[in-house]
């Protein structure tokens, strides 16, 4: 999936995720201000109210008119703005805000934050915000040498120690023609970081291992056996677990999906490759979520050359061999993680899910009707455990993934603080 398609898909996923949130978006001087226009749109589409504040330097790169049109609110640029009844815009701004997001944050502005300087509206607002209920998130944007400079590194460390959340930067091409660290994250990445910030950290300190997508079992060099799983549910679970504060490893079959931010990804093709990747990792994790639609069988021997169709010759017979059972093998490990299996069925969902839970020896099975969800952005789930069954009504896969993560978190034993 290319970056544009990934961003579009993510934008659909984010609809409503910031509903009811009020965000002060601060712009400082830098060419990355052009990304702030799209960021404003993304935050608004996700449901947030966006109040833009611009420094004098920011106005050299993008106009207040543009930002007002996109945010549908007057843009504030001066601490002397007389439109405020009490003439205290720096106080009023953050009393109703859930977060201040400075994007782009220049090296100069980060230095101001580190030193507690407040000589214009945005730095005043950051200093005057109620720390306990109005978060400060900072997205650095600068030349790679400026980012690497010891002074900048000290300042970034200081604002992080003071409670700011530093988002990025990314590496890549820079406006000056150089390449390296210092690029501001893209608009959809910053939107997702803000969404994640507001998610409850129910898996903080936990490690989660997720499998996703189909497997592909080769018949010959150009053909194989696979299934219709898109991997979207597993990727949504990996993202939701990362949002919840977990350290997440995602073992993915052949899918065209962008890796959720902050998630470590391991790509495989066959069931045996997935088994070989998962088994060594599983003991180091607290939770294993087996979302992948793993092929139960594979051709016993893949042909070295393409099997050719020829008139008068019999249709080839393909001998099949059984693939390893990844979920059952993980569940049998000494000190196994909390195991969650998925059952993609075509009929009799509850019956097959119950049988699979008992057969695999796991505490929780999540069932769904495969043909009604493969490739779609929505799903409906059935949770099956030792007590009984509970339905999770149809909804967006990411919303269901977040609900499932909360469910798993409630079932985990209390973590030993040692």
pLDDT digits (tens, 9 = 90+) for 73-111: 999 998 888 787 777 778 888 999 999 999 999 999 999
Q: What pTM value is reported for the model?
A: 0.85
Over range 349-365, report the average pLDDT. 90
The residues pairing with 381 across neighbouring beta strands, listed in sequence order, are 392
pLDDT at 418: 55
Q: In whole angstroms, what is the distance from residue 391 CA to residue 307 CA? A: 45
DSSP E strand boundaries for 125-284: 135-140, 165-166, 170-173, 179-183, 207-212, 217-220, 223-225, 247-252, 264-267
CATH of domain 19-197: 3.40.50.1950
In the chain, CATH 3.40.50.10300 covers 207-299+316-411
Judge whether residue 3 has pLDDT over 60: no
234, 291 Cβ separation under 8 angstroms: yes
pLDDT at 93: 87
User: 58: which DSSP letter?
Assistant: G
Q: In whole angstroms, what is the distance from residue 174 CA to residue 142 CA? A: 8
Question: Coil, strand, or helix at residue 25?
Answer: strand
**Nearest CA-CA partner of 167 in 191, 145, 200:** 191
Q: How confident is the model at residue 15 (pLDDT cuts 50, 70, 90)?
A: low
**Nearest CA-CA partner of 288 in 235, 211, 212:** 211
Over range 315-343, report the average pLDDT. 92
In the chain, CATH 3.40.50.1950 covers 19-197
227-280: pLDDT as tens digits: 888 999 999 999 999 999 999 999 999 999 999 989 999 999 999 999 999 999
Task: Select which of 12, 33, 134, 176 is catalytic.
Answer: 176
Q: Catalytic site residue 126? A: no
The residues pairing with 382 across neighbouring beta strands, listed in sequence order, are 367, 391
85 is written with which tokens? 């009844």
Helix axes 232-243, 397-411, angle to 10 degrees: 50
pLDDT at 59: 95
322 phi and psi angles, rounded to 5 deg: -80, 140
Instruction: State in words which class domain 207-299+316-411 has.
Output: alpha beta
Q: Distances from the Cα of 361 to the Cαs of 292, 327, 330, 331, in angstroms?
A: 18, 9, 10, 7
pLDDT at 306: 87
Over range 298-325, report the average pLDDT. 84
Task: Provide, rounded to the nearest whole percent, the portion of the chain with pLDDT above 90.
Answer: 69
92 phi and psi angles, rounded to 5 deg: -65, -35
Judge whether residue 2 has pLDDT over 80: no
């Amino acid at each position: 999936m290319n970056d544009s398609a990934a961003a579009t898909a993510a934008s659909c996923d984010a609809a409503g995720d910031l509903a009811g949130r009020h965000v002060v978006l601060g712009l400082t001087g830098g060419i990355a201000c052009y990304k702030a226009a799209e960021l404003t749109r993304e935050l608004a589409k996700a449901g947030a109210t966006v109040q833009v504040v611009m420094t004098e330097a920011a106005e050299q790169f993008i106009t207040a008119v543009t930002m007002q049109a996109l945010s549908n609110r007057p843009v504030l640029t001066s601490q002397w703005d007389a439109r405020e009844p009490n003439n205290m815009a720096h106080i009023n701004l953050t009393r109703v805000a859930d977060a201040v997001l400075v994007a782009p944050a220049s090296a100069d502005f980060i230095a101001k934050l580190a030193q507690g300087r407040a000589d214009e509206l945005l730095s005043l607002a950051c200093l005057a915000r109620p720390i306990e209920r109005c978060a400060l998130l900072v997205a650095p944007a600068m030349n790679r040498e400026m980012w690497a400079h010891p002074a900048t590194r000290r300042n970034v460390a200081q604002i992080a120690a003071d409670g700011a959340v530093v988002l990025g930067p990314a590496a890549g091409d820079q406006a000056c023609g150089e390449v390296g660290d210092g690029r501001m994250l893209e608009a959809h990445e910053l939107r997702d970081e803000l969404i994640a910030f507001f998610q409850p950290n129910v898996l903080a300190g936990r490690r989660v291992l997720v499998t996703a997508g189909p497997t592909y079992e080769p018949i010959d060099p150009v053909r194989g056996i696979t299934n219709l799983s898109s991997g979207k549910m597993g990727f949504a679970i990996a993202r939701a677990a990362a949002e919840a504060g977990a350290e997440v490893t995602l073992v993915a079959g052949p899918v065209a999906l962008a890796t959720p931010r902050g998630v470590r990804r391991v790509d495989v093709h066959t069931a045996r490759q997935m088994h070989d990747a998962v088994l060594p990792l599983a003991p180091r994790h607290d939770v294993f979520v087996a979302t992948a639609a793993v092929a139960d069988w594979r051709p016993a021997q893949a042909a070295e050359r393409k099997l050719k169709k020829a008139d008068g010759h019999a249709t080839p017979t393909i001998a099949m061999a059984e693939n390893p059972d990844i979920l059952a093998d993980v569940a049998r490990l000494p000190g196994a993680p909390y195991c969650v299996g998925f059952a993609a069925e075509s009929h009799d969902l509850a019956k097959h899910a119950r049988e699979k839970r008992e057969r695999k020896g796991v505490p929780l099975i999540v069932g769904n009707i495969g043909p009604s969800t493969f490739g779609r952005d929505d799903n409906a789930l059935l949770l099956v455990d030792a007590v009984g069954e509970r339905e999770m009504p149809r909804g967006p896969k990411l919303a269901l993934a977040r609900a499932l993560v909360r469910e798993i978190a409630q079932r985990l034993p209390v973590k030993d603080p040692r």
